[in-house]
């Protein structure tokens, strides 16, 4: 007898067009295939299909805390902030237990090589002087395993990270669990995403930033279209279980952002505790904190040697990458996509 609580998966997967596939293949050597999903055409890897329904039907707890973003929008920064507030400022654990272990990354499995495992292992071995096949395979298998298989055994409160849009998450999530969603100016997202793509050796990105920006605007990168992602969360911003933040506000006034998150989680901090937390989260200290920089993946040879996970943490840095033509194109692209909504990104000079 079927479980009445299990919802049928409402979305269909479909292939990219030949033209879209060709554009991506010219610039990437992905160890996986891309597909589109649902009426908005979100880009996912085909591996996502194996756990999409389980994610959609994920059993939730009232103590669950989600940190959700379009990638490169301040996710790691916010994860650390949320975890420390919810864990009564346990800095000792925060500095010794990697963030990748403190949070379950809901769709991590889809970013790992599927059919291209052999070529992935070859790339990693060439990038790691101390390559150990057995150790690397253990880590890869752990990363490839959908976390829905072990979330039930995780103690409360469970901390869950996701870059999925609201429509691909459990439909009644905000009826039960809390979510902190962070949005960021798409121009800064694109710059950070470009470096992030170059960071992971197995993505094999070989294009310029201008080419990357084109893929981003044309919704040909993972989990684009960007604006649909942000607008889905923006529509839920008044829900009592949703805290919608802008990266620019965190960057401009971190103590005020800390207070907003603390209030949302029902936590009280005095001035000294707030100052200490802001110091821990300062970009200078954050860049040196191995627990949040995914150093375990660098140790396996998955990272390019000239790129880092935590970069500049700067708002408005896109101006260093955009020429006049791109700047005008970006302004029109943003304006066109925001004309049907009151969503506006904070202005950073």
Domains of the chain: 13-338 (3.40.50.300)
Span 290-302, average pLDDT: 62
- Residues 68/181, Cβ–Cβ less than 8 Å: yes
End-to-end CA distance of the chain: 60
Label residue 317 by pLDDT band (50, 70, 90). confident
pLDDT attached to residue 299: 56
Positive or negative, the CA dihedral 75, 219, 13, 38 is positive
pLDDT attached to residue 2: 45
pLDDT attached to residue 132: 72
Please report how many Cα atoms fall inside a 13 Å half-sphere around the Cα of residue 45, on the Cβ side.
20
- Residues 120/143, Cβ–Cβ less than 8 Å: no
Span 289-295, average pLDDT: 70
Span 214-222, average pLDDT: 95
Rounded Cα–Cα distance for residues 294 and 108 (Å): 13
Label residue 204 by pLDDT band (50, 70, 90). low
Q: Which pTM value belongs to this model? A: 0.91
Rounded Cα–Cα distance for residues 5 and 57 (Å): 8
Who wins on pLDDT, 136 or 319? Answer: 319
Report percent pLDDT > 90 for the chain. Answer: 69
Label residue 338 by pLDDT band (50, 70, 90). very high
Who wins on pLDDT, 320 or 63? Answer: 63
Label residue 309 by pLDDT band (50, 70, 90). very low
Label residue 303 by pLDDT band (50, 70, 90). low
> Is residue 1 classed exposed, middle or buried when 0-12, 13-18 and 19+ CB atoms within 10 A define those classes?
exposed
pLDDT attached to residue 1: 34
Rounded Cα–Cα distance for residues 24 and 206 (Å): 11
Read off the pLDDT of residues 126-167 as tens digits, 9 standing for 90 and up. 666 666 777 777 777 777 899 999 999 999 999 999 999 999
pLDDT attached to residue 138: 78
Query: What is the separation of C-alpha 217 from the centre of its chain, rounded to a whole number of angstroms?
Result: 18
């Amino acid at each position: 007898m079927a479980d009445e609580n299990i919802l049928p998966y409402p979305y269909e997967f479909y292939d990219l067009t030949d033209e879209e596939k060709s554009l991506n293949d010219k610039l990437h050597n992905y160890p996986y295939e891309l597909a589109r999903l649902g009426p908005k055409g979100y880009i996912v890897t085909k591996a996502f299909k194996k756990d999409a329904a389980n994610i959609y039907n994920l059993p939730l707890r009232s103590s669950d805390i989600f940190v959700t973003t379009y990638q490169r929008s301040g996710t790691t920064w916010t994860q650390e902030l949320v975890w420390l507030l919810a864990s009564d400022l346990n800095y000792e654990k925060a500095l010794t237990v990697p963030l990748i272990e403190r949070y379950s990354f809901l769709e991590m499995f889809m970013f790992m090589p599927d059919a291209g495992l052999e070529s992935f292992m070859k790339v990693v071995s060439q990038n790691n002087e101390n390559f150990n096949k057995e150790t690397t395979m253990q880590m890869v298998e752990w990363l490839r395993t959908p976390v829905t298989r072990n979330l039930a055994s995780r103690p409360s409160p469970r901390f869950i990270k996701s870059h999925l849009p609201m429509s691909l998450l459990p439909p009644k999530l905000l009826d039960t669990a809390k979510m902190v969603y962070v949005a960021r100016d798409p121009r800064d997202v694109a710059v950070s995403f470009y470096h992030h793509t170059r960071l992971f050796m197995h993505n094999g990105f070989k294009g310029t930033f201008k080419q990357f920006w084109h893929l981003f605007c044309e919704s040909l990168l993972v989990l684009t279209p960007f604006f649909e992602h942000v607008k889905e969360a923006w529509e839920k911003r008044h829900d009592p279980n949703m805290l919608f933040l802008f990266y620019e506000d965190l960057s401009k006034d971190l103590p005020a952002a800390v207070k907003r998150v603390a209030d949302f989680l029902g936590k009280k901090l005095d001035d000294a505790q707030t100052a200490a937390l802001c110091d821990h989260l300062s970009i200078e200290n954050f860049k040196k904190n191995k627990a949040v920089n995914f150093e375990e993946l660098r140790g396996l040879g998955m990272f390019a040697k000239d790129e880092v996970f935590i970069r500049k943490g700067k708002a408005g840095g896109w101006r260093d990458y955009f020429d006049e033509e791109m700047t005008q194109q970006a302004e029109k692209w943003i304006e066109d996509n925001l004309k049907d909504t009151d969503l506006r990104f904070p202005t950073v000079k």
